[in-house]
Every structure is written in structure tokens, then in C-alpha cells.
Amino acid sequence: MKRGDKLIVVTLSLPVVAPLLDVIKAAADRMSGATVAPSALVDLDPEMRAEWSAELLAAQNDEVKEFLALFDEEFFANGRISFKADNAEPMIRACASVRLSLRAAPLANLPNEVLETGEVAFADLEEPVRKAFMAYLFLATIQELIIQHLDSAILDEE
């Protein structure tokens, strides 16, 4: 079996994850019109910059759409999401894009240290910020699980 053929299955707690999907979908909707990654395209002529930006936006939106599609009827039936190893990297990028969107708003007022360590007094956060923060941490966890799986798959091949 080739690495790309290997199926990655993640079992999630439906009662915990389901409410976060609304936050993630809202972030995805907000970012559908503009790329969330910082752009270093200032040296390009305007036509080239517009074309490049359009390609980046299309890729971002496709990856996020593919990620959100993981949370289908099967997920709501058994709490599992699955995908092949060959599309794991787009899933990591989709999670990163949504996390960047959440950082821009509604988590803009939280310091980077808090976002990266996860150390925050949840009781002190307003409900929308608390949910966004939990979604941010959930997406980070998904990224870590995928990376661990890819690392072990690479080591198994050697």
C-alpha cells in the first residue's frame, strides 16, 4: 500500500465538536472573499498580483470546502472523519487558514502567547470568544494529529 492510499480515521466527540462547526463555518464564510495568509506580492505588477491572489484564494476556498465536507452525515452518525494521506496536507492548510481567520476576528484581542499555549481563563472570555478559542484549539489538534500520522507513515516506509 502506498502512503497516499492509507486512510486516516479520526474519532471525535460529537457533542464537543458539533457546536464548534458553526464557528468554523462562519470563519470560512468570512474568508471566502480574501486570502487569510499574509501576502508578499507587493513587487508584482498589478495584473500578475491579481492573478496570483485569485489562484491563492481559489486554492484556499477549495481546501476549506474539502475540510468542511469531512463533517458530513457519517460524522454526525458515528463521530468519525476520514481522509486519505495524499490529501492530508490540504487539510492541514485548511485548518491553518481557518485558524488565521479566527485570529483576525473574533480572537484579535487575545495575545499570540495565549493563542499558541492555550492558557487562558475560559470563564473570563465572552461566549463568542470562548467558542472561537475552542474552535481554534480544535483545529490545532486536528493539524497535530495529521502531522503525527504523516510522520509515522513516513517512518514506516523507511
Query: pLDDT 10s digit of each residue in the chain, 158 long?
Result: 344 567 888 999 999 999 999 999 999 999 999 888 766 666 778 888 888 889 999 999 999 999 999 999 999 999 999 988 888 999 999 999 999 999 999 999 999 999 989 899 989 999 999 999 999 999 999 999 999 888 876 656 65
Question: Using an 8 Å Cβ cutoff, are 61 and 37 in contact?
Answer: no
Burial of 138 (0-12, 13-18, 19+ CB in 10 A): buried
Looking at residue 40, what is its pLDDT? Answer: 63
What number of other Cβ atoms are within 10 A of residue 31's Cβ? 20
Per the DSSP assignment, residues forming a β-bridge with 82 are: 9
**Distance from C-alpha of 59 to C-alpha of 126, rounded to nearest angstrom:** 33
Whole domain around residue 121: which residue ranges? 3-35+44-157
Query: What are the cell numbers at 19?
Result: 457546536
What number of other Cβ atoms are within 10 A of residue 104's Cβ? 13
Q: Hey, what amino acid is at 84?
A: K
* Buried residues in 111-133 as b, exposed as e (16+ CB within 10 A): eeeebeeeebeeeebeeebbbbb
Q: What is the DSSP letter of 37?
A: S
Total structural domains in the chain? 1
Residue 13 has φ and ψ, to the nearest 5°, of: -80, 110
**Distance from C-alpha of 100 to C-alpha of 139, rounded to nearest angstrom:** 11
Looking at residue 25, what is its pLDDT? Answer: 97
Looking at residue 155, what is its pLDDT? Answer: 55
Looking at residue 1, what is its pLDDT? Answer: 35
Q: Which residue has the cell 486519505?
A: 84
